[in-house]
């Protein structure tokens, strides 16, 4: 169950980052509330995952999901560069997260 919590935490992190961008563009209360909700959910589920998983592992996976997801959504939704080097290094982050899952309890 801890890994499911950790994935939800990573998705919350990605959602929060997307809402930061939305809040910068429209400055609405709804965007701000969604931003706070995304990061709150992210931290709650990260804390739940850390009841079982080691802190270093949970934090590394959480930041990897958030960083890779944020970069991918930036490329897909906001026209950020999609060159081969970026894709390669994002793939390394994703591979590292999968590798940590495979070698961890």
> Mind listing the pLDDT tens digit for each residue in 21-60?
999 999 999 999 999 999 999 999 999 999 999 999 999 9
What is the per-residue burial (b if ≥16 Cβ within 10 Å, else e) of 15-48?
bbbbbeebbeeeeeeebeebbeebbebbeebbeb
- Report the candidate in 19, 22, 75 with the shortest Cα–Cα distance to residue 42: 19
> In the structure, what pLDDT confidence band is assigned to residue 9 with cuts at 50, 70 and 90?
very high
Asked if pLDDT for residue 105 goes beyond 80, the answer is no
Q: How far apart are CA 64 and CA 92, in angstroms?
A: 10
Task: Output the six-digit token pair for 88.
Answer: 């390669």
> Mind listing the pLDDT tens digit for each residue in 79-89?
999 999 999 99
What is the per-residue burial (b if ≥16 Cβ within 10 Å, else e) of 60-98?
ebbebbbbbbbbbbbbeeeeeeeeeeeeeebeebbeebe
The pLDDT of residue 104 is 82
pTM of the model: 0.88
């Amino acid at each position: 169950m801890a890994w499911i919590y950790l994935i939800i935490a990573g998705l919350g992190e990605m959602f929060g980052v997307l809402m930061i961008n939305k809040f910068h563009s429209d400055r609405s209360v709804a965007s701000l509330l969604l931003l706070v909700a995304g990061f709150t959910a992210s931290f709650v589920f990260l804390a739940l995952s850390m009841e079982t998983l080691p802190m270093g592992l949970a934090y590394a996976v959480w930041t990897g999901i958030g960083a890779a997801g944020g970069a991918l959504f930036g490329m897909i939704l906001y026209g950020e560069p999609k060159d081969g080097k970026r894709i390669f290094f994002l793939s390394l982050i994703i591979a590292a997260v999968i590798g940590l899952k495979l070698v961890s309890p």
